[in-house]
Amino acid sequence: MTMIPDLPAPRPVAPLPDYVQTDAKLRDAAQKMEATFLAEMLKSAGVGAPRDAFGGGEGEEHFSSFLRDAQAEEMVKAGGIGLAEALFEAMKVRSLA
């Protein structure tokens, strides 16, 4: 029977450089801002507005905001309108100053 040698000890994972962590935080913030903007645009467009006939009752108006927020977040994940990238670049420049 052939013996399999022990695997070497795993190397410790080096932490990400500060600028990579900062970029990730800035990108996340920019995407959240774009999602908030898109949710407000969807609200202004009437997405999720209660209907006159056969509406969902009192709760429909309250829960429609959750739907708009989820739709806006999915729009950002799919590429959005480019606002997040512009915000990210602007915040990145400001963070370096």
- Confidence grade of residue 42 (pLDDT, cut at 50, 70, 90): very high
Q: Coil, strand or helix: which one is 14? A: coil
Q: Is residue 80 part of a domain?
A: yes
DSSP 8-state symbol, 3: P
Q: Is residue 2 part of a domain?
A: no
Question: Over the chain, what is the mean pLDDT?
Answer: 84
Rounded distance between C-alpha atoms, residue 47 and residue 68, angstroms: 7
Rounded distance between C-alpha atoms, residue 57 and residue 6, angstroms: 66
Structural domain boundaries, residue 89: 18-45+60-96
51 phi, psi to nearest 5 deg: -90, 155
pLDDT at 97: 67
Give the residue, 8 or 78, on which the prediction is more confident: 78
Q: Is residue 50 part of a domain?
A: no
- Confidence grade of residue 75 (pLDDT, cut at 50, 70, 90): very high
Q: Count Cα neighbours of 77 within 13 Å in the Cβ-side half-sphere.
A: 6
Q: Is residue 28 part of a domain?
A: yes
How many structural domains compose the chain?
1
Q: Is residue 5 part of a domain?
A: no
Q: Coil, strand or helix: which one is 89? A: helix
Q: Is residue 69 part of a domain?
A: yes
Amino acid at 17: P
